[in-house]
């Protein structure tokens, strides 16, 4: 059984956590910013120090390859993402990449050769916060999103993704066509309360929710806040407010696991004494049941329409992302469970409400995930935390899962 080097793992985690560190102890490391570049550069140096063959693909995904005894055998893929939310935590994505790095370092230190090669990856723009949509690097790698479309995406300041890749030196020329993969496992924080509530140190993740993202623009007419009678107004803000509160109430009409979120909101002209003529907002709808997500999208659209009826405004609703729910591979899930049992770690099987790159990889290879607990289920904020003992337990289960898959 492999045992990772806790000190080395911790040192790595603290070193990477300084890159894009916020004063409140989180990370601000948006995709393809200078902070993301510094984390990538550190990762490339660490892979090179292990003697791995490092490759950057056309969407900036960073791969490292550790050869196996049988170089022609399909590799096991490990890794996650180093980009973060703007006020994100240190564990989301980063813990998965560093658990994968520590796995390779442990294999090297123990002189363990595996039958199969092992490929490690840092995916581009997993968070989808700067460039929509999320899990972009893995979506392009698996052919779900077109490379040119992805390169032409722009952020809120109109900066083009392809230009940013070039600016930070990660506009790789390695083809994004997926290579043959034996299996893939991603370690990630749960970002929910289940493991902590149930007292389990590891989650065997069997699937991921379906997700729909909408961008909504409501148009009205700006006018004076004083003399304009209420019944003549075409107030984009009032219509948006109605729609947003109706969207917030949708899950109760749908299913126990359905969730809806309006995370982005903008109003124009944004002046205290002017009736807004334009309101734009995002909608994020999720459930493990694809029919529920379909119904959620339809209901959101009808609530937006009804709000516009009431306020004499008009709306454009654009569906910018839609992924069905994912069911991971039962054999790979069982390999994770077996490693947890061997390590004597309490675990449970669950599905993920958060999207992960493993979702897209599961479209091209047998895939599963390992979760470690999130304190208070907190995430996507600077207080995101996982107890170090849980990080170590998860990383050990991960290393032994990878070892068993790499010798299949």
Q: Which stretch binds ligand HGY (CB under 6 A): 19-27, 122-130, 194-202, 246-254?
A: 122-130
Name every residue whose Cβ is closer than 8 Å to that of residue 119 and which is 6 or more positions away in sequence. 63, 64, 65, 66, 75, 76, 77, 78, 79, 179, 181
x-marked contacts with ligand HGY along 23-62 as a string, rule CB under 6 A: ----------------------------------------
Least separation in angstroms between residue 13's CB and ligand HGY is 19
Residue 93 or 276: the one with the smaller Cβ distance to Mn ion is 93
- Residue 148 burial class via C-beta count within 10 angstroms: exposed 0-12, middle 13-18, buried 19 and up: exposed
Residue 235 or 384: the one with the smaller Cβ distance to Mn ion is 384
Q: Which stretch binds Mn ion (CB under 5 A): 13-21, 34-42, 93-101, 169-177?
A: 93-101
Residue 9 or 141: the one with the smaller Cβ distance to ligand HGY is 141
Least separation in angstroms between residue 337's CB and ligand HGY is 24
DSSP 8-class letter at 100: H
Residue 29 or 295: the one with the smaller Cβ distance to Mn ion is 29
Could you tell me where the beta strands, DSSP code E, fall in 13-171? 53-56, 62-66, 76-81, 118-123
Residue 191 or 200: the one with the smaller Cβ distance to Mn ion is 191
Out of 60, 93, 162, 172, name the contact with Mn ion by CB under 5 A.
93
- Residue 197 burial class via C-beta count within 10 angstroms: exposed 0-12, middle 13-18, buried 19 and up: exposed
Specify whether the CB–CB gap between 55 and 174 falls below 8 A: yes
Helix-, strand-, coil-residue percentages of the chain, each rounded to 5: 35, 25, 40
Residue 129 or 313: the one with the smaller Cβ distance to Mn ion is 129
Question: Counting contacts by CB under 6 A, is residue 95 touching ligand HGY?
Answer: no
Question: Counting contacts by CB under 6 A, is residue 89 touching ligand HGY?
Answer: no
Tokens of 76: 């096991």
Helices and strands in the chain, H and E counts: 12, 16
Out of 126, 196, 384, 390, name the contact with ligand HGY by CB under 6 A.
126
Euclidean distance between CA atoms 154 and 162, whole angstroms:
9
Specify whether the CB–CB gap between 211 and 263 falls below 8 A: no
Least separation in angstroms between residue 159's CB and Mn ion is 21
User: The dihedral of CA 193, 324, 406, 339: what is its sign?
Assistant: positive
Burial code (b: 16+ CB inside 10 Å, e: under 16) for 12-24 equals: bbeebbebbbbee
Out of 88, 192, 355, 373, name the contact with ligand HGY by CB under 6 A.
355
- Which does residue 119 bind out of ligand HGY, Mn ion, none, counting CB within 5 to 8 angstroms by kind? none
Q: Which stretch binds Mn ion (CB under 5 A): 41-49, 87-95, 145-153, 358-366?
A: 87-95
Least separation in angstroms between residue 31's CB and ligand HGY is 11
Least separation in angstroms between residue 47's CB and Mn ion is 20
Specify whether the CB–CB gap between 256 and 324 falls below 8 A: no
Omega before residue 115 within 30° of 0, cis? no
218 closest CA partner among 308, 91, 113: 308
Question: Counting contacts by CB under 6 A, is residue 134 touching ligand HGY?
Answer: yes
Out of 117, 128, 192, 251, name the contact with ligand HGY by CB under 6 A.
128
Interface with Mn ion (CB under 5 A): 92-93
Interface with ligand HGY (CB under 6 A): 126-128, 134, 354-355
């Amino acid at each position: 059984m492999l045992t990772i080097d806790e000190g080395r793992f911790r040192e790595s985690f603290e070193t990477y956590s300084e890159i894009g560190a916020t004063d409140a102890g989180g990370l601000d490391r948006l995709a393809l910013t200078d902070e993301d570049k510094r984390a990538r550069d550190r990762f490339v140096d660490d892979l090179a120090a292990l003697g791995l063959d490092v490759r950057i693909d056309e969407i900036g995904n960073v791969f490292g390859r550790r050869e196996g005894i049988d170089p022609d055998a399909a590799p096991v893929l490990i890794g996650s993402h180093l980009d973060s939310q703007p006020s994100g935590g240190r564990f989301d994505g980063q813990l998965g990449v560093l658990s994968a790095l520590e796995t390779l370092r442990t294999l090297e230190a123990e002189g363990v050769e595996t039958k199969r090669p092992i490929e490690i990856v840092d995916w581009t723009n997993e968070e989808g916060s700067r460039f929509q949509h999320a899990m972009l690097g893995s979506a392009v790698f698996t052919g779900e999103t077109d490379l040119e479309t992805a390169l032409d995406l722009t952020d809120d300041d109109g900066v083009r993704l392809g230009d940013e890749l070039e600016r930070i030196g990660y506009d790789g020329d390695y083809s994004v066509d997926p290579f043959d993969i034996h299996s893939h496992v991603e370690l990630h924080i749960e970002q929910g309360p289940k493991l902590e509530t149930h007292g389990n140190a590891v989650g065997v993740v069997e699937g991921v929710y379906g997700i729909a993202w909408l961008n909504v623009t409501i148009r009205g007419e700006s006018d004076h806040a004083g003399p304009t009678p209420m019944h003549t107004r075409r107030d984009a803000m009032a219509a948006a407010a109605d729609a947003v509160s109706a969207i917030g109430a949708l899950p109760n009409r749908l299913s126990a696991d359905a969730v809806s979120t309006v995370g982005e909101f903008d109003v124009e002209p944004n002046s205290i004494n002017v009736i807004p003529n334009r309101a734009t907002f995002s909608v994020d709808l999720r459930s493990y049941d694809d029919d529920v997500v379909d119904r959620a999208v339809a209901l959101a659209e009808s609530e937006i329409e009804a709000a516009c009826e009431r306020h004499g405004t008009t709306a454009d609703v654009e569906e910018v992302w839609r992924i069905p729910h994912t069911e991971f591979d039962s054999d790979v899930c069982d390999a994770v469970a077996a490693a947890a049992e061997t390590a004597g770690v309490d675990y449970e099987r669950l599905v993920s409400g958060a999207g992960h790159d493993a979702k897209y990889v599961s479209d091209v290879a047998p895939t599963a995930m390992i979760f470690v607990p999130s304190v208070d289920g907190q995430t996507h904020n600077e207080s995101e935390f996982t107890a170090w003992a849980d990080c170590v337990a998860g990383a050990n289960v991960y290393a032994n899962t990878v070892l068993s898959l790499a010798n299949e």
